[in-house]
Each structure stands twice: as structure tokens, then as C-alpha cells.
Amino acid sequence: MEEKWIAGTPKLWRDIPLIISFCPGCQHGAAIKTLCEVIDELGMENNCVLVVGVGCNTMASVLVDVDSVMVAHGRPGDVASAMKRVLGKDTMVITWQGDGDTLAIGCEPTVHAAARSEKITTFMVNNANYGTTGGQLAPTSVMGQVTTTSPLGRTPSHGYPIQGSEFLGSLKGVAYSARGAFTSPANYQKTKKYMKRALEKQRDGVGYSFVEILSTCPANWHMSPIESLKWIEEEMIPQFPLGEFKNVDKIE
Ligand SMILES: Cc1ncc(C[n+]2csc(CCOP(=O)(O)OP(=O)(O)O)c2C)c(N)n1
Ligand code: SF4
């Protein structure tokens, strides 16, 4: 009988002792585990470079067993564009970033990589705040959200949240844009499918691809892991709806 892997850590998960790790209930680990699975399932592990920014998400560079480079906060879009152009179409270039890294300090590199239709894939883990630095307001914090820099809740004077998946999906250079979450097994399956599709768009040379993953940050939200999942369902998803926003096989 054919042996089939059904549980445990993915093949590309590097099981190494860590000096730092994620807070309990943080979904960065689940997101990185899913990244390992999709790279493995697409057979891309030997021709893949992970470009990570600065944040709790940076741990991906240690945990995923592929070549990786850690770059300055917000710069993955620029570095990945250059790497893809130098390494050529057969190397999969993936950026792994937080929402601050992608849409605050990294907004310009992200938007212009998308506009140039760079053949790269950006995965943005959106936990609605700056996780690493103690929970400050991010472009993706929801209206009303209490953060260390919006102690009375986000108001219009802080600006409105940037819906990255819808926005990037509106750009001509973008081949694929989607938003997923890990709040249920069904959502996990859909998110994994989105991540795979995004990488397939790059593999097929169609254009820039983007997947946003809604993710918990119990430590900075001051919630239990279960409350955090509920908060994503009740507060984030209404302002950041799940689904595919663009999916084309040709940029025209
Ligand atoms: C140029 C620069 N500015 C600011 C910082 C400080 N800094 C480190 S991580 C971070 C925010 C991280 O938030 P996000 O990208 O959302 O990732 P998360 O930690 O939530 O995964 C900031 C502002 C830095 N390292 N470099
Ligand atoms: S601070 Fe937030 S994002 Fe960072 S490891 Fe802890 S729970 Fe995860």
C-alpha cells in the first residue's frame, strides 16, 4: 500500500532549537507550515528563494528549509524584484512579510513591484498591528481597534484601513490576489489553495501574485487564542472579506 503523509510537520519545516519562538496562539507558525506544504507539493524546494522582511514573520527564514535572505524592513518587494530578474524565470522568488512590512514602510516597494508585474509572489501575514514592536497601529488595523498608538480605538483621524488584496487586485500588473484565514478547517483549505494558485501564476510567468493571510496576535490583542480566532471572525473578516479578488491567466 502506498504510504501517505497525513500529519506531523511538513518535509520543509526545519526542526531546529530556537532561541526565540512565537507567542502561544500566534498563527504565524500555521502560516509558515502551510508555506512549507505548498512549496513541497509544487516541487519547488530546490529552485526557490524566500525573501523575508523584519517582524515576527522573519522566523520564516529560519523555519523553512529553502534558500532565504532577510532584508531591511519593508524592502522585500525591491529585493525580490531584483533577484527574480537576475536569477531568471526558473527560480521561484517569494516574499514573506507582515502587514506593516508590506503596506506601511513597504508600501512603495509592494505597489510598484505589482505595477511592474514582477514575476514574484508576496505572502502578507496580516495580524492588524505591528506585532514585534509591541502592537502599534498598522495600515491594516480595523476601525475602532485599540492599539498602543490608538488607545481610544482607531478613528478616521488615523486613516482608514488599507485593503491590500482588493487594492492590489485592481492593478493591471497583478495576475492573482486573494485573502484567506485559518479560522476553520474550511478556511485553511481555501487559504492553502490560494497560496498554491499564487505560486502557479509565478511559475507560469503570468505576473505578480499576492495572498493576504489574516492571522492572530493574542499577545498584543490581549486576548486568549480562542478569543483571537473569534475576533478575526467578528471584527477582521467584515472589514477584510475572504476570497479571490483577481485571477487571470494573461495580463492584457
Ligand atoms: C527601517 C526600520 N524601521 C523600523 C523598524 C522597527 N520595526 C521592526 S519590526 C516592525 C513592525 C513589524 O510589523 P509587521 O510588519 O506587521 O510584522 P509582525 O511583527 O506583525 O509580524 C518595526 C516597525 C526596523 N526594524 N527597521
Ligand atoms: S507578538 Fe503577535 S505576531 Fe509576534 S509572535 Fe507574538 S502573537 Fe505572534
CATH of the domain at 52: 3.40.50.970
Distance from C-alpha of 138 to C-alpha of 164, rounded to nearest angstrom: 12
Does 49 fall in a domain?
Answer: yes
Measuring from atom 4 of ligand 1, which residue has the nearest CA? 73
Does 58 fall in a domain?
Answer: yes
Residue at 5: amino acid letter: W
Q: How many domains does the chain contain in total? A: 1
- Average confidence score pLDDT of the chain: 96
Does 152 fall in a domain?
Answer: yes
Does 8 fall in a domain?
Answer: no
Does 197 fall in a domain?
Answer: yes
Distance 2 CA to ligand 2 centre (A): 39
Asked if 199 contacts 121 with a C-beta cutoff of 8 angstroms, the reply is yes
For residue 146, what are the domain limits?
A: 28-247
Atom number, ligand 1, closest to the C-alpha of residue 101: 15
Q: What is the pTM of this model?
A: 0.96
Asked if 124 contacts 80 with a C-beta cutoff of 8 angstroms, the reply is no
139 lines ligand 1 (CB under 6 A): no
Query: What pLDDT shows up at residue 20?
Result: 76
Query: What are the strands, taking DSSP E only, across the chain?
Result: 48-52, 67-70, 92-98, 121-126, 174-181, 208-214, 243-247
Distance 206 CA to ligand 2 centre (A): 34
Does 36 fall in a domain?
Answer: yes
Cell numbers representing residue 218 in the block: 493574542
Average pLDDT of the residues in 3-11: 77
Query: What are the strands, taking DSSP E only, across 146-242?
Result: 174-181, 208-214
Does 252 fall in a domain?
Answer: no
> Is the per-residue pLDDT at 214 higher than 70?
yes
